[in-house]
């Protein structure tokens, strides 16, 4: 999923691009924010840390280049949106900077997004390899930390700070001790394999819990686990017996 911000001072241009993204690319693109000034764009980018900016060249009395200079070294892709003439477009092509000519053509938009997805996948692969190297080195250490690839880079987490993991198809949500929630493009099965030796147990197809945070268990058909953060999760019948055995071993 590409997380994006649209920056343009012309409302009809924002509306058209938003419509194209929502109608044709909803599965690939999440629109985080719409900005019509450089100042608002800068604030939104710093706060939301998007993967991609659709950036107009002329924004009121300022430019998209002013925005990029203010942001500095933040990591994101940029697709310029412009109504510049043919001569000026040669500068974009020569500089190998991606751009879309207004009014934006749906086919051109699809090509640009494909380029961004390819680059993002390459970065994610690199992050995954870095995470693997870190985890191989550190999972046996007393600190028990793991490195996971996230949308804007990598994050190092203490295993003991993870309360539970919840599946969402090819993504997993990590719910942390500090109440934060982290989305990772890994399956729950991958986390189960990574964390099963560290007091985690899969009580349901969609839930992997840190047994250290189990507050109580209410018996029933499969039963319900209450975690220390107040979350109540059903235990699947086929996992109940093994789960109860693990509880007794705590």
Instruction: State the CB neighbour count (10 A cutoff) for residue 97.
Output: 11
pLDDT in tens, 6-29: 999 999 999 999 999 999 999 899
Secondary structure (3-state) at 193: helix
Instruction: State the CB neighbour count (10 A cutoff) for residue 121.
Output: 10
Q: How far apart are CA 110 and CA 113, in angstroms?
A: 5
pLDDT in tens, 62-97: 989 899 999 987 788 999 998 876 656 665 655 557
pLDDT in tens, 178-230: 999 998 888 899 899 888 888 999 999 999 999 999 999 998 888 999 999 99
Q: How far apart are CA 6 and CA 118, in angstroms?
A: 20
Secondary structure (3-state) at 189: helix
| Residues 163 and 180: beta-carbon distance below 8 Å | no
- Smallest CA-to-CA distance from 163 within 227, 216, 248 is with 227
pLDDT in tens, 90-147: 656 555 578 898 999 999 999 999 989 888 777 766 766 676 666 666 666 655 778 7
Give the CB-side neighbour count of residue 92, counting CA atoms within 13 A.
18
Residues 6+ apart with CB under 8 A from 98: 77, 78, 79, 80, 92, 112, 115
Q: How far apart are CA 16 and CA 109, in angstroms?
A: 12
User: Largest alpha-carbon pair distance within the chain?
Assistant: 75
Q: What is the mean pLDDT of the chain?
A: 87
Residues 6+ apart with CB under 8 A from 13: 56, 81, 102, 103, 104
In this structure, the strands spanning 52-56 and 2-7 are parallel
pLDDT (0 to 100) of residue 137: 67
pLDDT band per the 50, 70, 90 thresholds, residue 249: confident
Q: How far apart are CA 9 and CA 44, in angstroms?
A: 15
| Residues 227 and 214: beta-carbon distance below 8 Å | yes
């Amino acid at each position: 999923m590409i997380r994006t911000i649209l920056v343009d001072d012309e409302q009809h241009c924002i509306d058209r691009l938003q419509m194209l993204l929502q109608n044709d690319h909803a599965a690939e693109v999440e629109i985080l924010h719409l900005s019509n000034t450089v100042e608002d764009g800068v604030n939104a980018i710093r706060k939301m840390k998007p993967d991609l900016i659709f950036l107009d060249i002329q924004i009121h009395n300022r430019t998209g280049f002013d925005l990029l200079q203010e942001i500095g070294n933040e990591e994101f892709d940029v697709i310029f949106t412009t109504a510049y003439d043919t001569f000026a477009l040669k500068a974009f092509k020569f500089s190998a900077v991606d751009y879309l000519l207004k009014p934006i053509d749906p086919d051109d938009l699809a090509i640009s997004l494909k380029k961004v997805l390819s680059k993002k996948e390459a970065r994610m692969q690199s992050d995954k390899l870095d995470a693997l190297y870190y985890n191989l080195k550190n999972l046996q250490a007393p600190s028990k930390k793991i490195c996971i690839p996230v949308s804007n880079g990598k994050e190092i987490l203490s295993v003991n700070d993870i309360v539970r993991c919840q599946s969402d198809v090819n993504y997993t949500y990590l719910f942390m001790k500090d109440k934060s929630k982290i989305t990772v493009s890994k399956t729950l099965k991958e986390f189960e394999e990574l964390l099963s030796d560290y007091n985690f147990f899969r009580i349901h197809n969609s839930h992997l819990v840190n047994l250290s945070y189990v507050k109580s268990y209410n018996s029933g058909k499969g039963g319900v686990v209450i975690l220390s953060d107040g979350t109540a999760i059903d235990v699947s019948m086929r996992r109940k017996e093994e789960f109860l055995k693990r509880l007794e071993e705590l």
